[in-house]
């Protein structure tokens, strides 16, 4: 009986921890997306004024696209974990 209870506790921990880690990763990623969106907006304004190159804007747009793809992947993982 004690062994069964311990097994159940271990299974709950094994199931809960990945879900918790995914949730925290989603929160961090959401903040990163917000930061890159702000930086992209500012960089576009600087580009219009001639202070940065189009390449700088392109890099940030690519970074934002990659972050959004990762966000979608994490959301799918979160759905599967819960």
Domain enclosing residue 60, as ranges: 2-81
Model pLDDT, residue 30: 98
What is the CB neighbour count within 10 angstroms for residue 60? Answer: 19
Count of domains for the chain: 1
Per-position pLDDT tens, the chain of length 82: 778 988 888 888 888 888 899 999 999 999 999 999 999 999 999 999 999 999 999 999 999 999 999 999 999 998 887 7
Whole-number Å distance between alpha carbons of 55 and 34: 20
Q: Residues 54, 57, 62, 65: what is their CA dihedral angle, to the nearest 10 degrees?
A: -140
Q: 41 is written with which tokens?
A: 């907006």
- Sorted by sequence, the CB contacts under 8 Å of residue 60 that are 6+ apart come out as 36, 39, 40, 43
């Amino acid at each position: 009986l004690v062994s069964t209870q311990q097994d159940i506790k271990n299974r709950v921990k094994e199931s809960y921890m990945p879900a918790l880690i995914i949730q925290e990763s989603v929160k961090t990623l959401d903040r990163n997306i917000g930061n890159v969106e702000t930086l992209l907006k500012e960089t576009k304004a600087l580009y219009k004024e001639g202070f940065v190159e189009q390449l700088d804007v392109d890099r940030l747009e690519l970074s934002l696209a990659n972050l959004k793809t990762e966000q979608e992947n994490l959301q799918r993982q979160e759905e599967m974990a819960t």
